[in-house]
Amino acid sequence: MQRTVIQLLREAATHYPHSSYLNEKSDNGWISYSFSSVLEKSGWFASSLIDHGFGFNDKVAILAEGRADWVITEYGVLRVGGIMVPLSIKLLPDEIQFRLEHSECKAIIVSSNTLEKALNGLKGEMRQKIRIIYLDHDLESQLSQIKPEGISQSQFLFARQLYDEGRLTYNENSTKLNEIENGIAEDQVVTISYTSGTTGNPKGIMLTHLNYYSNSTDAMQYFDVSVGDQLMIILPLDHSFAHTVGIYACAVKGLSIHFVDARGGSANALKNIPINLKEVNPHIMLTVPALTGNFMNKMKDGVNAKGGFIRKLFEAGLKAGIEINGNGYEKTKWPGLKKWINYKLAYHLIFKKLQKIFGNNMRYCVGGGALLDLSQQQFFAAIGVPVYQGYGLTEATPIISANNPRVHKYGTSGKVIPNLECKIIGSDGQEVSQGTKGQIVIRGNNVMKGYYRNPTATDAAISDGWLYTGDLGYFDSDGFLVVIGREKALLISASGEKYSPEGIEEAIVNTAEFITQVMVYNDMKPYTVAVAVLAEDKIKKLVKQQQISKKEELMALVANDIRKFTQHEAYANQFPEVWVPRQFVLASEPFTEQNLMINSTMKMVRHKVLETYKDPIDALYRSENGVHQHNHKTISTLFGI
């Protein structure tokens, strides 16, 4: 048997033929597609693609929100031996153009939400020749508003029309489709997924059928899931974590996927998350730290707004819950009757109500995409909806390790999943002992085939089957993988000592009252500094309430906020003092995708922040007191002081 994702779908359609696989919101409520219907419809789509001249190794990009048609059309492209190129809806037109040209795409699948962005990304020769497959019904009205030049009506194909055409020609094309499917090797590429390109042109990561098949089956073997479990996906499907788990791993165990209602665009999708959670009542949710952090802050703000007894009980119960849970792995000693009562009261009076934000059935969330701060892990475990941190990267399809309900330890990225080798190597290339930090290196069937049209980068990343992740970490005494951060993002002191800034940045943001984003910096300097984005609304309110009229008062406020994490229980003595920022630059605006300081996967683009604030950062090292023209100007501009 060939281990392909098409085989995964066929097995699911055999074992769970009528079980709900894909679910999306429509004007008439939630619409479900069973495993057997997805197999059937993807076959129709594949048949129509053959009639329109698509075949082996043809690349088809997709720029759309998560929805059933994404999954069905992806399977359809794969069933003619094609390759998918998933694109983020957050990409800029030039970024879209590069990916389409580099991957040599023959077509792009778009929705009403993404049509205009896709057309803006089509330039030169590609604008005249690429086929555009449209997922919705309102193309005419859309085109009348956009009025694109140089694109003919004949370039457009309608997905629903392709389904209908393929249904009529499927029997005629079935022999050819079977021949194609039988000819698909395990190392045939399924997707070319592009890196964010924060340090140059993005690289196209080639993931194969065997990559997806093995990572999906290994992950489902590791996680505690049941047939028919409802899974809520709030991450975009181009996100490698959502793509693997949401499309393929769910087929392994017959899970039911629900997509957030994104009709009307990204802003509507964010608003619909809490609504959809209550409608769907999922058992599991895939998320990233930025989203769970938003949930946590809103919960805290809601409780603080109640004030008085509720706020005090919440704080006492949360503190007791964190102590009772310990690190999640080692048994916790009896906390004492008072703390136990505080926790039980808070749980039944407050925490159970907070759980309702996730619906009535939520067992746990799985976090990926970035390091999940310890305070978030402790918070959600205490209120009864744990968020289990995992670790992976797209080049590994992406899951490498994870905590799960059976075995977990807060502050770590869990145990390495089955059938995967993982070791830590030092600067000399040799494996280091347990507890020693080094680069994380893995080997297994989930390691990418390579970077598309980039053999030099491939050779640099893979050696003798081992993938060099570029991430630093170590195995603790219990065998849990602790991920520190990217090797290229390290802080470097004047003495040459190196340290990852990501944990410190998370600690600052999670404990500070008036800082929403921060970048910590030290490049062989005498001390560490930070670039901080302020919570404008909160500070404006404070300025008004306390009638603050001096810039120095706000500077002192920020300085205290930056150091607040050092007094927090979760971070006490966790970070050496040399890496705690001594001075800071106030950012004149938030880090966003628009100013290129956040990439499409919601990660900070460090070199862009440094480039933007180079002069004031340099000024910090010339002035010990840190009070300089840039910060004063920023305070005046933002707060009128």
- Do 281 and 275 form a contact (C-beta atoms < 8 A)? no
For residue range 72-109, what is the model confidence (pLDDT) as tens digits? 999 999 999 999 999 999 888 888 999 999 999 999 99
Beta bridge partners of residue 233, listed in sequence order: 259, 286
Residue type, 370: A
Report the alpha-carbon distance of residue 176 to residue 162 in Å, rounded: 18
Q: What is the DSSP string of 228-254?
A: T-EEEE-S-TTSHHHHIIIIIIHHHHT
| Average pLDDT of the residues in 323-338 | 88
- Give the containing element (helix H, strand E) for 131: strand 131-134
* pLDDT over threshold 60, residue 627: no
Assign 157 to helix, strand or coil.
strand
How does DSSP classify residue 199? T
Q: Which fold has domain 5-184?
A: Rossmann fold (3.40.50)
- In this prediction, residue 256 carries a pLDDT of 98
Q: How high is the mean pLDDT of the chain? A: 92
- In this prediction, residue 506 carries a pLDDT of 87
* pLDDT over threshold 60, residue 215: yes
For residue range 138-177, what is the model confidence (pLDDT) as tens digits? 988 888 888 888 888 889 999 999 999 999 999 999 999 9
The band of 397, judged by pLDDT with boundaries at 50, 70 and 90, is very high
The pairing of beta strand 491-493 with beta strand 498-499: antiparallel
Report the alpha-carbon distance of residue 555 to residue 627 in Å, rounded: 8
The domain over range 494-639 is classified in CATH as 1.20.1250.20: no
- In this prediction, residue 618 carries a pLDDT of 87
The pTM assigned to this predicted structure is: 0.84
Report the alpha-carbon distance of residue 131 to residue 153 in Å, rounded: 10
Report the alpha-carbon distance of residue 548 to residue 639 in Å, rounded: 10
Report the alpha-carbon distance of residue 413 to residue 410 in Å, rounded: 8
Neighbour count for residue 403 (Cβ, 10 Å): 29
Report the alpha-carbon distance of residue 5 to residue 375 in Å, rounded: 37
Q: What share of residues in the chain are helix, strand, coil (percent, to 5)?
A: 45, 20, 35
- In this prediction, residue 291 carries a pLDDT of 85
The first and second tokens of residue 339, run together, are: 């703390």
- In this prediction, residue 518 carries a pLDDT of 96
The first and second tokens of residue 552, run together, are: 């120095």
Report the alpha-carbon distance of residue 135 to residue 110 in Å, rounded: 6
- In this prediction, residue 200 carries a pLDDT of 61
* Tokens 């808070």 -> residue: 346
Q: What is the DSSP string of 567-628?
A: GSTTTTTTS-GGGS-SEEEE-SS---TTTTSB-TTS-B-HHHHHHHTHHHHHHHTT-TT---
Opening angle at CA 151, ends 148 and 156, nearest 5 = 110
* pLDDT over threshold 60, residue 624: no
Which stretch of 103-107, 358-362, 592-596, 626-630 has the lowest confidence by average pLDDT? Answer: 626-630
| Average pLDDT of the residues in 386-410 | 96
Report the alpha-carbon distance of residue 605 to residue 58 in Å, rounded: 32
- Do 237 and 246 form a contact (C-beta atoms < 8 A)? yes
> What phi, psi does 601 have (nearest 5°)?
-100, 15
Report the alpha-carbon distance of residue 459 to residue 451 in Å, rounded: 9
Report the alpha-carbon distance of residue 6 to residue 401 in Å, rounded: 25
Query: Residue ranges of the domains in the chain?
Result: 5-184, 494-639
The band of 335, judged by pLDDT with boundaries at 50, 70 and 90, is confident
Spatial CB neighbours of 277, under 8 Å, sequence gap ≥ 6: 232, 285, 357, 358, 359, 362
- In this prediction, residue 568 carries a pLDDT of 86
The band of 210, judged by pLDDT with boundaries at 50, 70 and 90, is very high
- In this prediction, residue 329 carries a pLDDT of 95
Beta bridge partners of residue 498, listed in sequence order: 492
The band of 55, judged by pLDDT with boundaries at 50, 70 and 90, is very high
- In this prediction, residue 333 carries a pLDDT of 74
- In this prediction, residue 626 carries a pLDDT of 54
Half-sphere exposure of 429 (CA within 13 A, CB side): 3
* pLDDT over threshold 60, residue 530: yes
* pLDDT over threshold 70, residue 197: no
The band of 496, judged by pLDDT with boundaries at 50, 70 and 90, is low
